[in-house]
Amino acid sequence: MTQETATPMPSELPAGNARKVFIKTYGCQMNVYDSGRMADALAADGYVSTDVMDDADLVLLNTCHIREKAAEKVYSALGRLRETKKARAAEGREFMIGVAGCVAQAEGEEISRREPAVDVVIGPQTYHRLPQALRKARGGERVVDTEYALEDKFEHLPDPTRVIGKPRNVTAFLTVQEGCDKFCTFCVVPYTRGAEVSRPLAQLLTEARRLVDSGVRELTLLGQNVNAWHGEDEAGRAIGLGDLLYRLAEIPGLARLRYTTSHPRDMDDRLIEAHRDLRMLMPYLHLPVQAGSDRILKSMNRRHKAEEYIVLIERIREARPDIALSGDFIVGFPGETDEDFEATMDLVRRVNYAQAYSFKYSSRPGTPGADLPDHVDEEVKTERLARLQSLLLEQQQAFSRSMIGQTMDLLLEKPGRMPGQLIGRSPWLQSVNVDAMSSQIGDIIQVRITAAGPNSLFAEVAEG
Ligand code: 5AD
Ligand code: SF4
């Protein structure tokens, strides 16, 4: 879940002395989507993207605030950028530094105070104003724009498929919902991303159709709490994520749908029906539970019991028997005893995850969890995390091994390392290497899995 990526962006334009931007993305897939849209906004303003930081005139850090270490990483990156800025100033060359994303939202002015080399601080709700902010900064002003914008940023961003020079990917993210009203007591998202807001149906259908017209075959719907998405259809009827999936499934040329991240409380009947009815809705669901002890779930304000989660998983598996589960876990939440932790281990054994992310609890100032008594010792957290991760790894490896000999569809996404080799995704989001001389990126081909490596699978083209 937390990865760092240099966002793939519009490729070089033959524009002689155009300014260059390097965007570094921290954290979740929402940030990956946002980085792409920021690149669009900047491209419309004449910037070209580079994946070489040393070539850039503007470095933008799109930050994550979910755990403490994430914010510290940003400050140390800023320290290094300050040195680059000094060196560039000595050469008389422009070098601007921008901080976007959730650390920008949460820390605001504090970032400029702590690191005066930063030119622009811009929150996740206002990044459509990035070009104006940069112009102001170039005039010598230090800009901090972390207001919740009244206008809809999506209406003010350039159409993602119209940005010149943008490489056509066969998979794309589509943010359908932002923010969260759940207020889990460990989580900063309701404070950094604000209240839950759903994008309207018509806007989403238009963006999805354009993406498909530009070559996209797989769409992943994104939201901090994606299954809380709600809207109205053309007849004014209230609809939810399940209905949205049925509507998207009608788009000609679209082959696959996914969505992430979900809350167990918002897995309604219609969404489960979508898993039953829509073959193109991939059989892979990221449904975080965080902990297996009812006492801890209550203290986390998750608003469901462990058994309710298990029953929900059973219902989903009944609707789509080949579905694979993924989850998030936190160990060492305040007050977590050995017995509570064992309840998490039990739940993991019962569910059997194909994939999972697990973290030590990180106290976030301003969240209710930070004020709870009985914070757990760091060594205890470390030991619990190691035990949990070894169980999860065992399950993940068993899942990968169970693929050997199976025939499945593969959506080819990019060239592999060897000539003639391509890399695709299985329905279960696994990366698969295949020798497929006569196939092209964007094709969906039938393959047979021949071997399982630690991070990817190997396959041959299936006969007939
Ligand atoms: N400490 C540790 N992990 C956290 N997460 C969210 N907040 C915290 C925190 N304070 C984890 C949760 C969430 C994932 C995105 O990050 O598991 O689902
Ligand atoms: Fe955070 Fe909970 Fe909302 Fe997920 S559901 S974003 S963990 S508050």
Same domain, 398 and 418: no
Distance 360 CA to ligand 1 centre (A): 8
Pairwise CA distance, residues 101 & 230, whole Å: 24
Same domain, 32 and 116: yes
373: exposed, middle or buried (Cβ count in 10 Å: 0-12, 13-18, 19+): exposed
Pairwise CA distance, residues 260 & 287, whole Å: 8
The residue segments making up the domain with residue 213 are 159-282
Atom 1 of ligand 2: nearest residue by CA position: 187
* Number of residues that make up the chain: 464
Could you please report the per-residue DSSP string of 389-428? HHHHHHHHHHHHHTTTT-EEEEEEEEE-SSTTEEEEE-TT
Atom 18 of ligand 1: nearest residue by CA position: 328
Which residue, 76, 29, 19, 26, is CA-closest to 50? 19
Please work out whether the CB of residue 285 comes within 6 Å of at least one atom of ligand 2: no
Provide the residue-wise pLDDT of the chain in tens; the chain has 464 residues. Answer: 444 555 444 433 344 578 999 999 998 899 999 999 999 899 988 899 999 999 999 999 999 999 888 788 899 999 999 999 999 999 999 999 999 999 999 889 999 999 999 999 999 988 889 999 999 999 988 899 888 766 777 887 777 665 545 556 899 999 999 999 999 999 999 998 899 999 999 999 999 999 999 999 999 999 999 999 999 999 999 999 999 999 999 999 999 999 999 999 999 999 999 999 999 999 999 999 999 999 999 999 999 999 999 999 999 999 999 999 999 999 999 999 999 999 999 999 999 999 999 999 999 999 999 999 999 999 999 999 999 999 999 999 999 999 999 999 999 999 998 888 999 999 999 999 999 888 999 999 999 999 999 899 999 999 76
Same domain, 111 and 179: no
Q: Which atom of ligand 2 is nearest to the CA of 180?
A: 3
Please work out whether the CB of residue 184 comes within 6 Å of at least one atom of ligand 2: yes
Q: What is the pLDDT of residue 167?
A: 55
Identify residue 417 by its one-letter amino acid code: R
SS3 120: strand
Domains identified in the chain, total number = 4
- Which value, to the nearest 10 degrees, does the dihedral of the CA atoms of residues 409, 414, 244, 7 take? 150
Question: Do residues 350 and 324 lie in contact, with contact meaning Cβ atoms separated by under 8 Å?
Answer: no
Please work out whether the CB of residue 65 comes within 6 Å of at least one atom of ligand 1: no
Query: Domain containing 275 — which CATH number?
Result: 3.30.750.210
Question: Do residues 177 and 226 lie in contact, with contact meaning Cβ atoms separated by under 8 Å?
Answer: yes
Question: Do residues 305 and 331 lie in contact, with contact meaning Cβ atoms separated by under 8 Å?
Answer: no
Single out the residue in 282, 316, 344 at which a domain terminates: 282
Atom 2 of ligand 2: nearest residue by CA position: 184
Residues 6+ apart with CB under 8 A from 220: 29, 171, 172, 173, 174, 257, 258, 259, 260
Kindly identify the ligand whose nearest atom is closest to the C-alpha of 194.
Answer: 2
Q: What is the pLDDT of residue 400?
A: 97
Which residue, 51, 76, 164, 65, is CA-closest to 124? 65
Which residue, 232, 237, 300, is CA-closest to 263? 300
Same domain, 227 and 137: no
Please work out whether the CB of residue 187 comes within 6 Å of at least one atom of ligand 1: yes
Same domain, 327 and 365: yes
Please work out whether the CB of residue 183 comes within 6 Å of at least one atom of ligand 2: yes
The radius of gyration computed from the CA coordinates of the chain, to the nearest angstrom, equals: 23
**Helices 269-277, 241-248: inter-axial angle, 10-degree rounding:** 30
Please work out whether the CB of residue 407 comes within 6 Å of at least one atom of ligand 2: no
Question: What six digits make up the tokens of 167?
Answer: 């490489």
Give the containing element (helix H, strand E) for 323. none
Q: Is residue 295 part of a domain?
A: no
Question: Has 348 been labeled as part of a binding site?
Answer: no
Burial 312-325 (b: 16+ CB within 10 A, else e): bbeebbebbeebbb
Which residue, 267, 386, 402, 401, is CA-closest to 329? 386
Pairwise CA distance, residues 129 & 227, whole Å: 28
Question: Has 184 been labeled as part of a binding site?
Answer: yes
Same domain, 346 and 431: no
Q: Is residue 151 part of a domain?
A: no
Same domain, 135 and 163: no
Atom 12 of ligand 1: nearest residue by CA position: 328
Identify residue 119 by its one-letter amino acid code: D
> Best substitution site from 30, 175, 189 to test ligand 2's pocket, by max atoms within 8 Å of Cβ?
189
Atom 7 of ligand 1: nearest residue by CA position: 187
Question: Has 64 been labeled as part of a binding site?
Answer: yes
Longest Cα pair distance anywhere in the chain, in angstroms? 66
> Best substitution site from 187, 191, 367 to test ligand 2's pocket, by max atoms within 8 Å of Cβ?
187
Strands 284-286 and 324-331: parallel
- Which value, to the nearest 10 degrees, does the dihedral of the CA atoms of residues 112, 118, 120, 125 take? -70
Question: What six digits make up the tokens of 270?
Answer: 């219609």
Q: What is the pLDDT of residue 464?
A: 60
Single out the residue in 121, 145, 169 at which a domain terminates: 145
Please work out whether the CB of residue 66 comes within 6 Å of at least one atom of ligand 1: yes
Q: Is residue 350 part of a domain?
A: yes
Same domain, 89 and 19: yes
Pairwise CA distance, residues 351 & 53, whole Å: 43
Query: Domain containing 316 — which CATH number?
Result: 3.30.750.200
Q: What is the pLDDT of residue 168?
A: 65
Question: Do residues 141 and 54 lie in contact, with contact meaning Cβ atoms separated by under 8 Å?
Answer: no
Identify residue 315 by its one-letter amino acid code: R
Q: Which atom of ligand 2 is nearest to the CA of 181?
A: 3
Q: What is the pLDDT of residue 162?
A: 56
Where helices occur in 92-200 by DSSP H, the ranges are 101-107, 109-114, 130-138, 153-156, 189-192
Please work out whether the CB of residue 224 comes within 6 Å of at least one atom of ligand 2: yes
Given CA atoms 248, 254, 260, 266 in this order, what sign does their dihedral have?
positive
Single out the residue in 145, 175, 191 at which a domain terminates: 145
Distance of CA 414 to the CA centre of its chain: 20
